[in-house]
Amino acid sequence: MGNPFRDQLLKAGLVNKKQAKKAKLEKHRNRKQNKENTTAEISNKVREEQAAQARRNRELNRQRAEEKRQSEQKAQVKQLIEDNRLDQDERGERYNFVDKNQIKRIYVSEEMADQLSHGLLAIVKLGDSYEVVPAKVARQIAGRDKDAVVAFHEK
């Protein structure tokens, strides 16, 4: 079954069989080339989308790893504070310090107040409360979370 338009052109004598066959072959080549180009374009788009998805996945994995590292550090800080905190003396001397532009106070013994002012002890924040820890522990805490150390008169 031929092309009715081509058949009309042949009957009218405007084209010969050789020209018609050549046009048909050219049309076939163009279709095949377009199909290959379309396939190549689709595969390129798929590769680009896969690469973009891989980048997004890597970024999400990096963010999750960072969040996990931060939560582990917070847990380590909490554990250090809970294991090394010194008992405060509610009937002792009032020790004032600054936390985020607010004056806060805790009550400690005279000896602890002296050690705090000489940098042998430090005040750290645990949740909403403040604890006193040795200087060595305060340095470890500062290495993990600088915001947790509130008052440390390090030399």
Q: What is the dihedral of CA 102, 84, 139, 101, to 10 degrees?
A: 0
The model's pTM is: 0.62
**How many residues are listed for the chain in this entry?**
155
Please tell me the predicted confidence (pLDDT) of residue 5.
Answer: 65
3-class DSSP state of 109: coil
pLDDT at 141 over 50: yes
Paired with 129 in beta bridges are 126
Q: What is the pLDDT of residues 72-114, one digit of tens each?
A: 999 999 999 999 989 888 888 899 999 889 999 999 998 998 9
